Structure 1
Amino acid sequence: MNNNLTVIERDGQLLVDSREVKDMLNIRHSDLLEKIDGYLSVLHQNGKFRSDQFFIESSYQAGTGKPYKHYYLTRKGCDMVANKMNGTKGVLFTAHYVTQFEEMEKELKQPQTELEVLAATVNNMVQQEKRITVIENEQKRIFDLIGLNPSNWRKEINKIIRLIAKESGLSHSAVWSESYKTLETRGKCNLRRRLDNKRNNMKKEGASKTKVEKANFMDIIDEDPKLTEIFLAIVKDMAVKYKVTLKKETA
């Protein structure tokens, strides 16, 4: 086995040449290309993976000047090739490419000049500032939600439910259903049974058919302070889960 395997850096990716891989594996280049073409065919059919995360097609010229195909393999590509091999060859190839990739990664992480040290420091500061900004925005968003006014809770809950549906891509009915099911679990209650009882009592008290039919789960929640408190907490949790903020509402 040829132990020579050069890892290069291109556009932020670490790559190895299929021509060196075939030497290391002691197989014909055409055979290796055929295997890679097969892997790519499966990846393309699946559609969930970008082929360039594994193999990048390129070409080179031989002595005649005629172009020939070869591939650059990413670390994932090497993993795929190695996983399809058995025995000593697969083990040694894995050991070599893992070692070479790790050495190249360490080399790239080490600043070589004062300018590179300064650039790395500035980059770290920028990234830290971005992380701080994200955290602050998240905290503010949660504080906005926690600040819901309980006296006007039905209007604000409707607003948040619309936002959750918009951000999540779920239907309004699906979001409401999730909130009600969670309430029944946390509040240990049966909203349907309570609503049926309420409607029966309204009929006995002489309420109109229209008024009886308009009664809903929100009325049940509104009549029970404990359920109201639990439901507010549930919708706040859902808003955080689906990453919405009250300021996104424009209508």
Structure 2
Amino acid sequence: MNELMEQVNKTPIEIALGIDEEGMTTARKLYAFLDLAQGQFSRWAKSNIVDNEFATESEDYWGFDINVEGNKTQDYKLTAHFAKKLSMKGNGEKAEEAREYFTHLEERVKQKAIDFSQLSPELQMFSRIFQSVAEQQLEQKRQAEKVEQLDKKVDSIKDVIALNPNSWRTDSAKIINKIALQMGGYEHIKAIREESYKLLEERMGVALSIRLSNKKKTQALNGVSKSKIDKLNQLDVIADDKKLIQGYVSVIKDMAIKYGVTEVAAYV
């Protein structure tokens, strides 16, 4: 009965995230809420939680075992602050909704803080010492996070600046890989490439599939081996036309902006 009343008093997002009495969610609940790639939770958790050098076990998260269809697997309890940071890596309305919720949750927790003026002078002194140490540690973590974000931003700037008609195949592949990781994993590369080809066709008024078919026929007539012909793809078609190369470079830069690979791509 008590559990039912708790559910009634919770908001839809709190129910979806499984927020407990301590204001914490779980990694699996957050992953599902953000609509991240199915079947990639373990990889995401290892990269963003376990191997995250800016996350501390037993402070930001706590691992625990659960059973999924009879198999023992791992999940993690997440503090509101850490869950908010993980939500910042997502895109779309769900990610924004999660970030806003965890921000408000942190504010509510602060409002419930103890009135230390009611404590004894001795406890107030220990409280001030603890608060000073805690603030120093948090500031160190914030500075470390800023450095990490700056490093990532610089890497992204380098990738987008490097994208030019002279090395377009290698540079565009780097950005497509980053977009795939942003979406949840390298399994998204194929879909991202297909999107880039579709955008190029719309922008340049061409049919890459027809050009690819014609290229294969021409090479067959010229005696090129079937194994080499089978390896041809849309990128080989683009490589034959300087205007298509320039158009594709422009498309990839626009996609970098769209998927948030770099915040400054628009200025390149």
TM normalised by structure 2 equals: 0.42
Structure label with greater radius of gyration = 1
TM-score (structure 1 length as normaliser) = 0.44
